[in-house]
Amino acid sequence: MKKFNIEIAVGFFLLLGILSLAYISINLGKLEIVGKDGYTVFAEFEKAGGIKPKAVVEIAGVEVGTVKSVGINSDYLAVVELSIDKDIKLQEDAIASIKTKGLIGEQYVQISPGGSDKLIANGGKLRETESAIDIEELISKYVFGQV
């Protein structure tokens, strides 16, 4: 009978350990098991600069969404699909910029709020965008005296 109780205790702690690892993996990996409530907004950029899906979307340094997908349209512009939290309301004249954290850090989308009274609806488009800065292009211009 004692051996059976020890086996149950070991099994319980093993199960508890597996559940703890799963919880930590989900939180550290920022996985979404259940989709977040939010709405979709699109932005077109001349250069996407290597932005990837699941990149952060920030307003004033606060995370307000994620990049869902990156594609290209018929005009050869990069189309970035953004998922914005439902509590955040974007004005029609908001500006989306692709930025880099640090000198060679990860890329993210920064949104600068506008002053318009009109808000962007689900599936709407940000008209004002700023493409990513190409560091290599800037360095080559400086080296060859074009700056």
- pTM of the predicted model as reported, rounded to 2 decimal places: 0.69
Q: Are 64 and 88 in contact (CB under 8 A)?
A: yes
pLDDT tens by residue, 59-73: 998 999 999 999 999
Q: What was the pLDDT predicted at 31?
A: 60
Task: Give the Cα separation of 73 and 144 in Å (integer).
Answer: 33
The values of phi and psi at residue 39, to 5°, are -135, 165
Q: Is it the case that residue 17 has pLDDT exceeding 90? A: yes
Q: What was the pLDDT predicted at 147?
A: 62
Task: Give the Cα separation of 97 and 133 in Å (integer).
Answer: 10
- The percent of residues above 90 in pLDDT, for the chain, comes to 24
Distance of CA 102 to the CA centre of its chain: 16
Q: What was the pLDDT predicted at 135?
A: 74
